[in-house]
Amino acid sequence: MKSRFLFLVTTIIMISCHKEKNKIKPDDILFSNLSSPILASTVRDWSFENHGVCSVDIPIPADSSNTILLDINNDSDYDFKITLSHNYWEPTQYCGHCSVYNYDIKINGINSSNSIAFNNQSFKTKYFNNSDKISSENSWKNQAILTMKGGCMRPTFDIEGEYIGFKHNDQIGWIKIQQLANNGILVENYAINLTDKKSIIAGQKD
């Protein structure tokens, strides 16, 4: 009788432990609702250049850069940096009579534990729309390009969605962005799922 009782107790404990081990951890979303969106750009104004056979807007100043630093998990350490820049393109080949400028916006993790979702086999950021799933199954790397314009004989592309995905250690999150004129960008808000290895939905706040 005693041995049966011990067997029963042991079985109950093992079942309880197994259930606890396989219990799905809930989402623990840290949402940062910025009272004032963060914005930056590199072009203050424009002048006009006309050579008759071509015309182009010239940025003022001619060379400029700006940065946005993001502390995703509110631990007083910056995790991601968005870099905006434009500069005169030094000719290495004929590209018309008018001046040519490069315009770029990039994002990178400040250290190796931070990465950005990107289009596989590409240097471009992967964009997500509201309610899209962001998970560890995406392709990740430390730096990706948000926009690229101007230049001569190089790819040109803009922001193609509302959200970008990021990974901080094993935690997944999103940043809501908007492209602005004058080589600018606006960061509206962001969120991170503090539960390790759990996916997050773009726009998820809790």
The residue whose two tokens read 């990039």 is: 106
Spans of all domains in the chain: 26-201
pLDDT of residue 9: 41
Q: What is the pLDDT of residues 167-193, one digit of tens each?
A: 999 999 999 999 999 999 999 999 999
Going by C-beta distance under 8 Å and a sequence separation of 6 or more, which residues neighbour residue 199?
Answer: 133, 134, 135, 136, 172, 193
- pLDDT-derived band at 10 (thresholds 50, 70, 90) equals very low
CB count within 10 Å of CB 12 equals: 10
The whole-number average pLDDT for the span 2-24 is 48
Q: Among candidates 80, 174, 188, 193, which has minimal Cα distance to 131? A: 174
pLDDT in tens, 97-115: 788 999 999 999 999 999 9
- pTM assigned to the model: 0.85
